[in-house]
Amino acid sequence: MKTTHKLILLATALVGVLAFIATVAHAADSLPSWNDGKTKQSIIEFVEKVTKPGSADFVPVAERIATFDNDGTLWAEQPLYVQFVFALDRVKALSSQHPEWKAKEPFASLLKGDLKSALAGGERSLLEIVMATHAGMTTEEFEKIVKDWIASAKHPKTKQPYTEMVYQPMIELLAYLRANGFKTFIVSGGGIEFMRAWTEKVYGIPPEQVIGSSIKTKFEMRDGKPVLMRLPEVDFIDDKAGKPIGIHKFIGRRPIAAFGNSDGDLQMLQWTAAGKGARLMVLIHHTDAEREWAYDRTSSIGRLDKALDEANAKGWTVVDMKKDWKRIFPFEQ
Amino acid sequence: MKTTHKLILLATALVGVLAFIATVAHAADSLPSWNDGKTKQSIIEFVEKVTKPGSADFVPVAERIATFDNDGTLWAEQPLYVQFVFALDRVKALSSQHPEWKAKEPFASLLKGDLKSALAGGERSLLEIVMATHAGMTTEEFEKIVKDWIASAKHPKTKQPYTEMVYQPMIELLAYLRANGFKTFIVSGGGIEFMRAWTEKVYGIPPEQVIGSSIKTKFEMRDGKPVLMRLPEVDFIDDKAGKPIGIHKFIGRRPIAAFGNSDGDLQMLQWTAAGKGARLMVLIHHTDAEREWAYDRTSSIGRLDKALDEANAKGWTVVDMKKDWKRIFPFEQ
């Protein structure tokens, strides 16, 4: 064995040992925005037992898969899903190119600012809005549109950029899991391309670890250069039963930890819970009307009803935002 | 800063420096089954320039994505695609449960060993064989069927397990790229679930980095336990123009290096080539009738015709298996 190789092995072993000491000693410090209590403790205990060599619950690094819903779990989803606000802004931006929209629903009502009438057509209206604003351009063009929008749009209540409307305790949790060898994935009903434009910068989650709903694309040559055109056709809906399907399709491995906040996440948590060995299922419960929003069983956005019952029945971890989180957004003091 | 943290940083830096020295000094040694020459050199030069800090061609680790076709690029595809042999074996294994197959094509001919008549119906016959053998069970059941089969099946010519019919130079190349910070992905026309059952063990490529063709699945509860049932319905064909679509869907980032061996890989190479900065496009040309097989423009399996013309016209790297590879399979002396 060459001397450099020996030194590398030695140094690598040293890093391993020191990292283990540091992890054990400072686990609690990794989650400073979490109040002490049984919620925080249930997360730390899970991570410590699956990462402890020789433990009966030990899980090899390759199998440490954690999946996170996005809207309402990693960032705020009130008063409207961020991607829906994006779509509305795009309708306004594109309206000069579409004079026919003035006489055509759902666009006519949208342009008048009448959201309720615009959505009177239900899912069909929503789909029309999505396709008019998300299809008809190349994947590169769409990425640029999202990047430009997210860099300038502001949340109506806090006037902060949407990328600041993320939950500080969850940012810490993502980093804590990764420091313990976990691969963190987003599994969201939101658009996969909409999220990939900013998740790496904001959450440290690279595009290949983002799973979401999608529309179809078509490969074609444009002036001798290959492009992928975004088509107005649904490819995959990554919500409810679609979440375990998406997890299996994209990851091909069952998560050992999963985090959600609504009934749309129930099947992902069930799928995670059904695997062998130690498991962590977590629901974020929006209980803080003052610092964030309080909503659950009757909300039209992020309804949490059946999943809350199942969490209580099965002893899953339920985060009480008001009680468990010291700080909610990064911009808070 | 705590002392343990300082020591970790120091040790980490030490590993980095030593790893860099080792890489530079021993790059050539990482590819011992490649003969010296311009093919090997083109690969090493590419890797060295994109990984050298300060180089004009430097690419950050997160963007070092390399995609590999599987059949004919990482393992042998002659005399039949391995997955097709699997399907034929499954037809035999399942025939006692399907007495009706004795009078029903394409199964009747298959069971008589008459492959030519069985495939006379073209794509429809093939699809019937695939669905009869790949659908109708849970994802976990299918994984076990593939694992059991691949552990026992033998190649008709060499009598080796199929997992030994992999190309030793490519195994070395995968490891060399990963040692240089690349994430290696499979992007294959083959079935995603068929490959995921063994790629981690054989290639060191985890399931979440395997992209392939797929059938749909359905989430359902079976005795209170969630399962994913495999449906006899095509979800995605990851071949030709499907490859860049699959890359975009699953990875969301354009590769900087891509490796294929047939016209089915042409669009993946075009898509890779069209990105900005340094790029590496490689075709494996099957030129060794003695140690492997020699085939290209007129072969029904792994036809290499248009892609070879484009590689020659654009100066992509073409591996001449006979000339460039010292050893082909791991079991060779």
DSSP single-letter state for residue A235 = E
Q: A110 pLDDT exceeds 90?
A: yes
Q: What is the pLDDT of residues A193-203, one digit of tens each?
A: 999 999 999 99
Q: What is the pLDDT of residue A270?
A: 98
Q: What is the pLDDT of residues B198-226, one digit of tens each?
A: 999 999 999 999 999 999 999 999 999 99
As given in the structure block, the two tokens for residue B165 are 């019919």
Q: What is the pLDDT of residue B25?
A: 44
Q: Does B179 touch chain A (CB under 8 A)?
A: no
Contact B87, B130 (CB under 8 A): yes
Q: Please state the pTM of the whole predicted model.
A: 0.92
Q: What is the pLDDT of residue A29?
A: 87
Using a CB-CB distance cutoff of 8 angstroms, which residues of chain B are in contact with residue A218? 241, 245
Residue A74 binned pLDDT confidence (cut-offs 50, 70, 90): very high
Q: What average pLDDT does the structure give for chain A?
A: 93
Using a CB-CB distance cutoff of 8 angstroms, which residues of chain B are in contact with residue A210? 252
Task: Please judge whether A22 and B4 are an interchain contact, meaning their C-beta atoms are less than 8 angstroms apart.
Answer: yes
Using a CB-CB distance cutoff of 8 angstroms, which residues of chain B are in contact with residue A271? 219, 226
Q: A25 pLDDT exceeds 90?
A: no
User: Which of B5, B62, B217 lies at the smallest CB-CB distance from A22?
Assistant: B5
Task: Please judge whether A219 and B225 are an interchain contact, meaning their C-beta atoms are less than 8 angstroms apart.
Answer: no
pLDDT, tens digit only, all 333 positions of chain B: 444 455 555 555 555 555 555 454 455 589 999 999 999 999 999 999 999 999 999 999 999 999 999 999 999 999 999 999 999 999 999 999 999 999 999 999 999 999 999 999 888 999 999 999 999 999 999 999 999 999 999 999 999 999 999 999 999 999 999 999 999 999 999 999 999 999 999 999 999 999 999 999 999 999 999 999 999 999 999 999 999 999 999 999 999 999 999 999 999 999 999 999 999 999 999 999 999 999 999 999 999 999 999 999 999 999 999 999 999 999 997
What CA–CA distance (Å, rounded) separates B76 from B89?
A: 18
Q: What is the pLDDT of residue B176?
A: 98
Q: Does B249 touch chain A (CB under 8 A)?
A: yes
Q: How far is CA A9 from CA A16, B39, B55, B133, B204, in A?
A: 11, 32, 28, 46, 20
As given in the structure block, the two tokens for residue B203 are 């290639």
Chain A 71-130, CB below 8 Å of chain B: which residues? none
Q: Does A271 touch chain B (CB under 8 A)?
A: yes
Q: What angle do CA A15, A20, A25 make, to 5 degrees?
A: 125
Chain A 37-76, CB below 8 Å of chain B: which residues? 62, 65
User: Which of B5, B226, B252 lies at the smallest CB-CB distance from A208?
Assistant: B252
Q: A121 pLDDT exceeds 50?
A: yes
Q: What average pLDDT does the structure give for chain B?
A: 93
What CA–CA distance (Å, rounded) separates A107 from A306?
A: 34
Spatial neighbors of B267 by CB under 8 A, at least 6 apart, are A219, A226, B240, B241, B243, B244
Q: What is the pLDDT of residue A66?
A: 99
Q: Does B234 touch chain A (CB under 8 A)?
A: no
CB pairs under 8 A between A and B: 119
Q: Does A206 touch chain B (CB under 8 A)?
A: yes
Least confident of A49-53, A215-219, B113-117, B306-310: B113-117
Q: What is the pLDDT of residue A333?
A: 75
Q: How far is CA A125 from CA A128, A311, B133, B332, in A?
A: 5, 34, 41, 63
Using a CB-CB distance cutoff of 8 angstroms, which residues of chain A are in contact with residue B207? 251-253
Task: Please judge whether B271 and A245 are an interchain contact, meaning their C-beta atoms are less than 8 angstroms apart.
Answer: no
Task: Please judge whether B244 and A4 are an interchain contact, meaning their C-beta atoms are less than 8 angstroms apart.
Answer: no
* DSSP E strand boundaries for chain A: 65-68, 183-191, 210-222, 225-236, 257-260, 280-285, 317-320
What CA–CA distance (Å, rounded) separates B305 from B299?
A: 9
Residue B12 forms beta bridges with which residues? none
Using a CB-CB distance cutoff of 8 angstroms, which residues of chain B are in contact with residue A254? none
CA distance B333 to chain A (A): 23
Q: What number is the ipTM of this complex?
A: 0.91
What CA–CA distance (Å, rounded) separates A73 from A167?
A: 8
